[in-house]
Amino acid sequence: DTAVSQTPKYLVTQMGNDKSIKCEQNLGHDTMYWYKQDSKKFLKIMFSYNNKELIINETVPNRFSPKSPDKAHLNLHINSLELGDSAVYFCASSREGTGLTKNIQYFGAGTRLSVL
Amino acid sequence: QQQVKQSPQSLIVQKGGISIINCAYENTAFDYFPWYQQFPGKGPALLIAIRPDVSEKKEGRFTISFNKSAKQFSLHIMDSQPGDSATYFCAASRGRGAQKLVFGQGTRLTINP
């Protein structure tokens, strides 16, 4: 069983389109995240949800809107896609707790988005 | 503003050698320093992590050395193996609750057989 699963794995689309990426975790974690990895492999956090509540919202264009229907799912919707949105998007999750284990973020395999 | 700086960008080591990757951070409020390993086509996976109250943590062939006064930490991979070839990221975060991990730029490590 995949702990953090993202769909689709690849997404190729035209500029101006709207697309969604879905993420599900079966680890029972309370917190989920979206990261963007650019062409130089730099990883940057975009959003974080804890129990369906948005708690981290980095400087991301309004065209990006996360939605968490329940604490096991965090989807990312992108409106009016631009060339610069091409990247790999990773979903991750972590659990509340104490010590080093509470900080462990488990990542999905990523969604490679290509905007043409 | 790059809060976590990582070097080198790429590293080639012979099998059996020691791989060393360095990171420096700026924010003294950071209290958690993990290293993540990423293979091509996969997501990053936690390798080893340390808190600033210890100077070293070892797990198998992987060791984190931490220098709080210098605001630096490094990953040492002993007896490096071809299977260790991957991209390595240092990161840092602070506080409780959701952890906003700030990543370094990544190091592409190649272990030659």
Tens of pLDDT, residues B71-94: 999 999 999 999 999 999 999 988
Please give the tally of structural domains in chain A.
Answer: 1
Task: Compare CB distances from B87 to A41, A94, A108 and report the shortest one's residue.
Answer: A41
Count each helix (H run) and each strand (E run) in chain A, helices first: 0, 11
pLDDT tens for residues A55-94?
888 878 999 999 999 989 999 999 999 999 999 999 999 9
Please give the tally of structural domains in chain B.
Answer: 1
Domain residues for the domain of B28 are: 4-100
State the Cα–Cα distance between residues A22 and A20, nearest whole angstrom.
Answer: 7
In a domain, B44, yes or no: yes
Whichever domain contains B49, its CATH number is 2.60.40.10
Residue B89 contacts A where some CB pair is shorter than 8 Å:
yes
In a domain, B94, yes or no: yes
Find the closest chain A residue to B44 by CA distance: A107
In a domain, B9, yes or no: yes
Domain residues for the domain of A92 are: 4-97+104-115
- CA atoms lying within 13 Å on the CB side of residue A55: 15
Residue B52 contacts A where some CB pair is shorter than 8 Å:
no
Enumerate the β-bridge partners of residue A45: A35
State the Cα–Cα distance between residues A89 and B44, nearest whole angstrom.
Answer: 12
Q: Judge: A43–B45 Cβ closer than 8 Å, yes or no.
A: no
CA distances from B88 to A40, B18, B64 (A): 13, 15, 13
State the Cα–Cα distance between residues A58 and B38, nearest whole angstrom.
Answer: 23
Place of tokens 């003294």: B28
As a whole-number percent, the residues of chain B with pLDDT over 70 amount to 95
In a domain, B113, yes or no: no
Whichever domain contains A52, its CATH number is 2.60.40.10
pLDDT tens for residues B38-55?
999 999 999 999 988 899
A93 exposure class (CB count in 10 Å sphere: 0-12, 13-18, 19+) = buried
